[in-house]
Structure 1
Amino acid sequence: MRIAIFGAGAIGGFLGVKLLQAGADVTFIARGAHLEAMRAQGVTLRSGGETVTVHPRCTSEPAEAGPQDYVFVTLKAHSLPVAAPQIAQLLGAETALVTGINGVPYWYFYGLDGPYRDRRVESVDPGGKLWELLPPSRVIGSVVYPAAEVVEPGVITHLDGDRITLGEPDGSKSPRVQALSKVMIQAGLKAPVRPRIRDELWVKLWGNLAFNPLSALTGATLERLATESDLRAVARTMMVEAQAVAEALGVRFLIGLDQRIQGTAEVGAHKTSMLQDLERGRPMEIDALLGAVVELGQLVGRPMPACELVLALVRERARQAGCYPSR
């Protein structure tokens, strides 16, 4: 099985090492110092008290890898439009595209029964260019739970989690998704195939849409945002608004709102990825995590005053920090 990891940073690198150990033919596609270190010294993964070093094929040029059976895209959402032409070079006639990206995906409405079927989400796919370059018929949706970080170029520490949920947008248990699940399980990962992948996507997004922007605005950790009564109230209000939007689109939430918030509190004094990006001067995932949710709220006619307020504030905070470039 030929698998490319496009964006082989922390999560992509962790996944790639595990798949390589399971016997898959894996190509890491990366750039910069991390790529050079992987080429020279291999990829070192520290996980569960063990350290392993592997020597995969590494490149910055997708054309060198050629068509794949599966391409995992583990970029941040705002990087996808720029990377799409390169990703397209990895697609053969039957290549499946596995999108391990936070937030509302560009393919969200693909094949979805109802009045919005095949609608483009402008916040994450301006002009529908992703839809054309990376046809959603190729997509296997995924929800990624592991936490990892690149502690130095070529060295990845796996912090927690081993589940990556998979799902076809049409809910089918296709041969391609079942084959992928099998090899991921052989790699020591939990890889359940769900018929309603959007439900699970929303459970993760539910917290991210509130806690990430609030952390960027306040500098607070997840623990404080989820336990300080005034901050928790703001997050909860945003989540209530988002739940109404999701349910209007047919989503079923299998856990309660306060249970979701409590799960966030249990993560502890952790900085969200959006706060870390702000502190490091990197582009922030504002549109995928909150902008697209507000767009969906406008689409289904649900008021979202708290989400709209926080969205305006965090966009301006990012602009002032040079972390929200104009599109």
Structure 2
Amino acid sequence: MRIVIVGAGAIGGVIGGRLHQHGYTTALIARGPHLTEIRRRGLRVEDPDHAVTVDVPVHGDVSEIGWRDGDVAVIATKSQDAVAALEALAAVAPPELPVICAQNGVDNEQQALRRFVNVYGIHVMCPATFLEPGVVQASSAPISGLLDVGRYPSGTDATSQAVAAALMGSRFDSRAVEDIMRWKYGKLLLNLGNAVQIVCGLGTGLEIAHRARQEGASCLEAAGVGFVSGEEDKERRGDLLTVRPVGGKSRGGGSTWQSATRGLNSIETDYLNGEIVLLGRLHGVPTPVNELLQRLAVEVVTGRRAAGSVSEAEILRRLGS
């Protein structure tokens, strides 16, 4: 089995780097300065205890891979880039290729199933960072993250079990699960606070994030969508994730914060808070907090507002609270 990581940023880079480090056949798809640095010096994977540079094969496009039987594609782009990545992959890979979505949000698997027969999801619990070309960080050690795998829309099979086994052998905790989307919807609720980090600033806006998650849970319940409870999530994590500083520096924000910090002009908020807004409109559930966060996050990333410039008090006033 060769595992091809499409999108070697924070999550994709840590997954691909760890797999290659531990002897699994792996290839990366990267772009821009990140691609250049990996080709020049290898991919540097840092964690609280060690740093390793892996000479993993890297390509600039999925058309360069030469897809063959036994390959598995792991899509690790941001959700807003998923359709473009899947379209490019579908143009050069067979429809039977196993495609695994290791992304935030819950729309990616459905998009993949439009184009490929065998689709899987990964429930990503992996505190990773990508801010510098050629370098990714895993903030938890010795376990880098929890990466449960399941077939979409449900079930397990030999592929999900083989991928989970490879991840288990590469400093992740992973299992094949029957109900992967229930776990991913639970993660979606947690990710509703990502926008708060760039709108209000790190460590602030906790009440806003709480209200966003309450709206999210109400929408999922109205839509009849199952999701794991906080208790289930806590039990799954146990004491496996141990987040500590890397290189003497504490981890900053999550994936949305990292995109904004790197100056990207798009973020995944439309597939996080926007997913809740969509469900609310479909099922008649008001979602004022998620709607406002969605708009404010876009204003930040497009430069109309400074990151961290909106106070919790201002948001509460705008919500009439």
- TM-score normalized by the length of structure 1: 0.77
Contact kept, 8 Å, 1:22 with 1:183, in 2: the verdict is: no
Is 1:147 aligned with 2:149? no
State the identity %.
27
**Which residue is equivalent to 1:18?**
18
SS of 1:27's equivalent? strand
Question: What pairs up with 1:27-176 in 2 under 5 angstroms?
Answer: 27-67=27-67, 69-89=71-91, 91-92=93-94, 94-108=96-110, 132=114, 134-135=115-116, 137-150=117-130, 152-160=132-140, 161-176=144-159
Separation in 1, partners of 2:260, 2:305: 9
SS of 1:91's equivalent? coil
Count how many residue pairs are aligned between Structure 1 and Structure 2: 287
Contact kept, 8 Å, 1:5 with 1:71, in 2: the verdict is: yes
Deviation string for 1:277-296 (max 9, x for gaps)?
A: 33443112121111122112
Give 2:77's aligned amino acid: L
The CA deviation at 1:201 is 1.1
Structure with greater helix share of residues: 1
**Which residue is equivalent to 1:192?**
175
**Which residue is equivalent to 1:255?**
230
- TM-score normalized by the length of structure 2: 0.78
Contact kept, 8 Å, 2:121 with 2:149, in 1: the verdict is: yes
Separation in 1, partners of 2:54, 2:258: 29
Separation in 2, partners of 1:159, 1:34: 20
Question: What pairs up with 1:178-327 in 2 under 5 angstroms?
Answer: 178-209=161-192, 211-218=193-200, 220-221=201-202, 223-226=203-206, 232=207, 234-248=208-222, 249-255=224-230, 270-282=252-264, 283-321=266-304
The CA deviation at 1:173 is 1.8
Deviation string for 1:218-269 (max 9, x for gaps)?
A: 2x21x3333xxxxx1x322221111012123231432269x89xx9xx9998
Structure 1 unaligned blocks of 5 or more? 109-124, 227-231
Change (3 A) 1:313 1:322: closer
Contact kept, 8 Å, 2:11 with 2:76, in 1: the verdict is: yes
Separation in 2, partners of 1:253, 1:201: 8
What's the RMSD between the two structures over aligned residues? 3.0
Structure 2 unaligned blocks of 5 or more? 245-249, 307-321
Separation in 2, partners of 1:54, 1:313: 39
Give 2:61's aligned amino acid: E
